[in-house]
């Protein structure tokens, strides 16, 4: 199954606004998932290790068998927002967020632009 990708530039005021935006976005395309379930999926994945990939980049994982289509959402934030890393125990200022919306039962094969986006944003 191919992975659908979407690029957005968004204005957010803080990390709470970020999570609100993500839950609303995912709920609009995956109506079988409630906003509460989406937040639970994010928390469950974060318990395995948070997605901070650089001092200004974050990957958020939403992994659920109810997801009908694997997707990658690339967010460029118009202004940096604060993100507190529980793992690092300090504040970071992020401007790039990648949201992986994945059904674990689907194959992740197929071409996507994740590596190029990470390179372009100097995250790898």
The model's pLDDT over 12-64, given as tens digits with 9 standing for 90+, comes to 999 999 999 999 999 999 999 999 999 999 999 988 888 988 899 999 999 99
How sure is the predictor about 1, in pLDDT bands with cuts at 50, 70 and 90? low
Structure token pair of residue 22: 């993500």
Say if residues 56 and 67 touch (Cβ distance below 8 Å).
Answer: no
Residue 99 has pLDDT above 90, yes or no: yes
How sure is the predictor about 108, in pLDDT bands with cuts at 50, 70 and 90? low
Residue 66 has pLDDT above 70, yes or no: yes
Structure token pair of residue 103: 């059904």
Residue 95 has pLDDT above 60, yes or no: yes
Say if residues 56 and 93 touch (Cβ distance below 8 Å).
Answer: yes
What is the biggest distance separating any 2 CA atoms in the chain, rounded to whole angstroms? 38
Structure token pair of residue 56: 């200004």
Q: Give me the chain's average pLDDT, please.
A: 90
The rounded radius of gyration (Å) of the Cα atoms in the chain is 14
- As its CATH architecture, domain 4-120 has 3-Layer(aba) Sandwich (3.40)
Residue 121 pLDDT: 74
Query: How many whole angstroms separate alpha carbon 20 and alpha carbon 25?
Result: 9
Query: How many whole angstroms separate alpha carbon 88 and alpha carbon 100?
Result: 22
Say if residues 11 and 79 touch (Cβ distance below 8 Å).
Answer: yes
């Amino acid at each position: 199954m191919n992975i659908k990708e979407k690029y957005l530039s968004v204005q957010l005021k803080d990390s709470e606004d970020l999570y609100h935006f993500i839950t609303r976005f995912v709920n609009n395309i995956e109506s079988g998932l409630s906003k509460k379930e989406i937040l639970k999926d994010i928390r469950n994945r974060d318990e395995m290790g948070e997605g901070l990939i650089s001092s200004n980049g974050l990957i958020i994982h939403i992994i659920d068998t109810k997801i009908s289509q694997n997707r990658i959402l690339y967010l460029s934030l118009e202004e940096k927002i604060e993100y507190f890393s529980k793992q690092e125990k300090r504040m970071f200022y992020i401007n790039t967020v990648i949201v992986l919306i994945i059904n674990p039962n689907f194959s992740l094969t197929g071409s996507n632009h994740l590596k190029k986006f990470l390179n372009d944003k100097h995250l790898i």
